[in-house]
Amino acid sequence: MITLSIVFFNFSFFREFFTRNPDLLAGFQSMFNSIWIYVGIIIFIGLVWFIFIYLSNFTVVKKAKEMLLNIWNGMKSIWLMKHKWLFIVETLLIWISYFIYFYTTFYAFSFTSHLGVEVGLIAFAMGSIAVAVPVQGGIGPWHFMVIMTLVCFGVVETDAAAFALVVHMVQTLWQGVTGLFSIAALPIINRKR
């Protein structure tokens, strides 16, 4: 929702971005213009249907069904939980904190410190879109999108690359450290309860 609202309110930037990067736009268009993408989707759906109907006794298929059911139940549980609005508010706060972290890093570099919140939101949205690419940790696509976004706002490409590299590295390290801390803290917190 955050990304869609940023795209909606800054549509002129996204149009300019894809004008500056025609290969990216051509890649997206060729994906949907090719008959093979649709053939591949139909084959994939048919294969999944065949496996789930005719090979449902296999352990792997049972586990896959169970996993999908758990995901669906997890999504439904948001509407059934007692404090759903608290859950939604806390989720929004996590994303706002994530953006604040990203935007604060603009002030760590002289070549991005003059860029405003709007540019920060656009670069953040572009990075979020890139994370949808199935690459571990967004390494590569995230960097490309953030670099090209900053270049559109007048940052030299080598400076933009330094920004993307440092920000992504610090962010990954921070998530690793806090994740390890949480794993260590959970048994202690649960014991007290």
Q: For 47-81, what is each residue's pLDDT tens digit? A: 888 887 877 787 877 888 888 788 788 777 777 77
Q: What is each CA distance from 23 to 59, 61, 92, 148, 162, in whole angstroms?
A: 44, 39, 34, 13, 23
Mean pLDDT of the chain: 81
* 56 Cβ contact partners less than 8 Å away, ≥ 6 residues apart: 62, 65
What pLDDT was estimated at residue 133? 66
Q: For 100-124, what is each residue's pLDDT tens digit? A: 888 998 999 999 889 888 888 888 8
Cα-to-chain-centroid distance, residue 53:
33
Q: Percentage of the chain with pLDDT > 90? A: 7
Q: What is the mean pLDDT of residues 128-144?
A: 74
The two three-digit tokens of residue 106, written as one number: 């603009």
Q: What is each CA distance from 186 to 26, 173, 175, 193, in whole angstroms?
A: 48, 20, 16, 11
Q: Are 38 and 32 within 8 A, CB to CB?
A: no
Question: Against a cut of 0.85, is the pTM above it?
Answer: no
CA distance 54 to 3: 40
CA distance 80 to 77: 5
Q: What is the mean pLDDT of residues 135-148?
A: 79
**Other beta carbons less than 10 A from residue 143's beta carbon:** 19
CA distance 152 to 60: 47
CA distance 176 to 179: 5
